[in-house]
Amino acid sequence: MTRIYPHIVVAKFGGTSVADFDAMNRSAAIILADHHVRLVVLSASAGVTNLLVELAAGLESRDRQDKIDTLRAIQHNIISRLKQPEAIGQEIDHLLENISRLAETAASAPSAALSDALVSHGELMSSLLFVEVLRERGVETEWFDARKVIRTNDHFGCAEPVISAIAELAEKQLRPRLEQALIITQGFIGSDAAGHTTTLGRGGSDYTASLLGEALQANRVDIWTDVAGIYTTDPRIVPQAQRIDEISFSEASEMATFGAKVLHPATLLPAMRKNIPVFVGSSKDPSAGGTRVCCNAENPPHYRALAVRRKQTLLKLHSVNAQPAHAFLADMFAILSRHHVAMDLVTTSETSIALILNATGATSGEADTLTTSLLTELSSHCRVEVEADLALVTLIGNALSRAAGICQQVFAGMENHPVRMICHGASSHNLCFLLPADSADNAIKTLHRSLFE
């Protein structure tokens, strides 16, 4: 009979935390400092997935070789620091050969399925190397192929997990192993029912960690990254941003949805379902502490954070024949739904609909949300206007739709910015502004100064 391990922490390390040999060693030290960490989920080393995505799009022979050389250099920088580099060096070279072969096929016949098979190599390589780093520190570990457990549908590039299958597979395949050794696995990758490799969308390793945390009913999920927690906004944009020590699932989830890259948008859903606290901290400086995301934060403030989502497209649909408004809305939404367009922000008037298409992280490949077939179908029903290169700046908070004086304070901060669209009201947790991409950072800086500093 399998004994349920008393305390399980799932620890995920992002790209910068496994970027090179030193980063891997810092991450190893974090794992060894907490004996509750039983399962480790790894991203590809920083930069690797971007290179693989470019290869998957199909490159000319010479460009292909350049990318593969860069990939090889990243891996061999790590391998050369190992005491026994031979066996693992051969294994990694074998994966690099696979990459080369798949990239050649992608150059003549690219496909979303091929792209997932190709990009999955980033996580496969980093996890194999990490096992070696730990082994050389004398730690017993087992490399585990995440595709055995992360069952998804076959929506390549942004596959959706099948929660019940993952729970069953984790129980059978993972739980018994947790007692034997520390398990090292890959984030981001999964497989469909036919065994094809799939991916969960860019940044999906966070999601893998919480999916596995949910399946194993872990006590905590730790997300180790390059910032010491979740801040009031991206500290790269505003160095004065303040760390949020404790935040509720719903607020952090809202931040992730609206672009706070520190967490993949879906990360908190599994954690919320099983009420598993999530910790976010820096693998570069674990002693700096971090953010605890949990069920309810104490005294949630009106203004919690600012987030920005880039690569937004504004799609405006204007009715051309005097169709009643309700029929026009129904027809347009039916078309958008048939084309799987995810709409999270929409405004409407009597004769027009404006909606925002979000291309960030939509897929692991380079697929475009606004496809030619969608445009053709829409154009046969209405006049279509498209404006690209926009950014969505969102204020995240609590009871925003009820608090008095908010508009005055927030709109004053937006005074000098060319706002293209405003969304407020459906959720009391957000207030969104669509702006030209090059105005977004300034808008964040002004709003942060007036609302948070």
Positions at the binding site:
12-15, 49, 123, 225-226, 231, 236, 261-262
Contacts of 79 (CB under 8 A, 6+ apart): 85, 88, 89, 92, 129
Nearer to Mg ion, 204 or 413 (CB): 204
Question: Given strand 430-436, what is the order of strands in its sheet?
Answer: 346-348, 352-358, 303-319, 382-397, 430-436, 421-424
CA 331, distance to chain mean position in Å, is: 32
| Binds ligand ADP by CB under 6 A, chosen from 59, 79, 260, 293 | 260
Q: Which of residues 106-165 bind ligand ASP (CB under 6 A)?
A: 122
* DSSP element (H, E) containing 436: strand 430-436
| Partner whose binding site includes residue 122, from ligand ASP, ligand ADP, Mg ion, none (CB under 5 to 8 Å by kind) | ligand ASP
| Partner whose binding site includes residue 251, from Mg ion, ligand ASP, ligand ADP, none (CB under 5 to 8 Å by kind) | none
Over the window 53 to 82, marking each residue x when it contacts ligand ASP by CB under 6 A and - when it does not, the resulting string is ------------------------------
Q: Dig out the tokens for 170 from the structure.
A: 């984790």
Stretch that binds ligand ASP, among 19-27, 197-205, 316-324, 381-389 (CB under 6 A): 197-205
Q: Which of residues 278-317 bind ligand ASP (CB under 6 A)?
A: none
* CA neighbor of 314 nearest in space, from 346, 357, 352, 350: 357
Q: How far apart are CA 217 and CA 36, in angstroms?
A: 13
Over the window 228 to 257, marking each residue x when it contacts ligand ADP by CB under 6 A and - when it does not, the resulting string is --xx-xxxx---------------------
| Partner whose binding site includes residue 230, from ligand ADP, Mg ion, ligand ASP, none (CB under 5 to 8 Å by kind) | ligand ADP
Report the SS3 class of residue 323.
coil
* CA neighbor of 378 nearest in space, from 331, 342, 314: 331
Residues that bind Mg ion (CB under 5 A): 14, 203
Q: Among the residues of 109-192, which ranges form H helices?
A: 112-136, 163-169, 175-178
Q: Is 265 in the site for ligand ASP (CB under 6 A)?
A: no
Q: Is 187 in the site for ligand ASP (CB under 6 A)?
A: yes
Judged by the rule CB under 6 A, the positions of this chain that interact with ligand ASP are 14-15, 43-44, 49, 122, 187-188, 202-205
